[in-house]
Structure formats: structure tokens, C-alpha cells
Amino acid sequence: MSIEPSAERDAQRGPSGAVTSPTDPSDPRPRAYGAGRVLVLVYGILALAATGRSVYQLLTKLDEAPLAYSLSLVAALVYVVATVALAHNGVRMRRVAWTAVLVELVGVVAVGIWSYVRPEDFPEATVWSHLGQGYGFVPLVLPFLGIAWLLRSDPARIARQ
């Protein structure tokens, strides 16, 4: 029997239940809690739907509405970035998440208004056209939920409490 403490016995359990050692600088928190996991799931579903639809439209009907379908692909990429960034707790990824969610908000409002003012530029529905009407207005509501989550889960705010 060894008298020296083993690394396993010195390990601590973080809030997520994961075993971490005292010298391990990694963040032991899970990537998202409760509502955050649902939000990431919804973003992921929208990212898959928007990516699939935009790629299909660009490959098969590019000549019908190149601008609208290209903007749809941009929206899809924003959703992919937002999904990945919201799923992480790191400082850099939170900055990326803030950027993605704000770009999403500006994009859905700008393209939504544009599609009402100049409907000829959007002969087919896209993710952000008509404020996301084709997706049940989820693209319009989602950035507000993303902002609310980022504010609620802010580590600095949590530490102050």
C-alpha cells in the first residue's frame, strides 16, 4: 500500500460531476444547462434545415433567385456558427455567440423588411425572407432568445450573485 496520495484520490468533482484534478485548468461546467440545451437544440435543427434547403436551392435553382438563395446560405452558416458557439462556455466562444446572434438579428430584420419592400428580389421563400414566415417566424424569435440566454448565463453576472 502506498502512502503517497494518488491523483485519483486528489481529483475533485466539478459542478457537472466530471472528475477534474486540482492542476487541470479546464472549465468543469457542462456546455449548457436546461433551457440552454433546448436553445442549442433548436439552433441546431434550424442550422440543419437552413443548410439543407439553401444548398438544395443553390444547386438546383440558382438562376431563379441567386441573391435570395445566397442570403439563405449566409443565414445557414450564421446558424451553424451560433449553434456551436452557444454550446460552449469559453470566453472566446461567448464572443462568437454574441456576434453570431447579433448578425442573425440584423440579418433577419434587414432581409425580412427587404423582402416586403422589394418582393421581386425574393421570388421564393428563404430562411430570413418575410421575417422567417416560412419557418413559423422562428428565425425572428430565436435571436431574442439567444440574447436572453447569453445575458442570463453570463459568468460575470452569475459570479456577482
Radius of gyration of the chain from its Cα atoms, rounded to whole angstroms = 21
User: pLDDT digit string (tens) for 55-72?
Assistant: 999 999 988 889 999 999
Phi, psi of 30 (to 5 degrees): -65, 165
Instruction: Quickly tell me which residue has 450573485 as its cell.
Output: 161
Angle at 136 between CA 117 and CA 75, to 5 degrees: 65
User: pLDDT digit string (tens) for 69-110?
Assistant: 999 999 999 999 999 999 987 889 999 999 999 999 999 999
> Quick check: helix, strand or coil at residue 52?
helix
First to last CA, the chain: 45
The Cα–Cα gap between 19 and 32 comes to: 18
Would you say the pTM of this structure is higher than 0.85? no
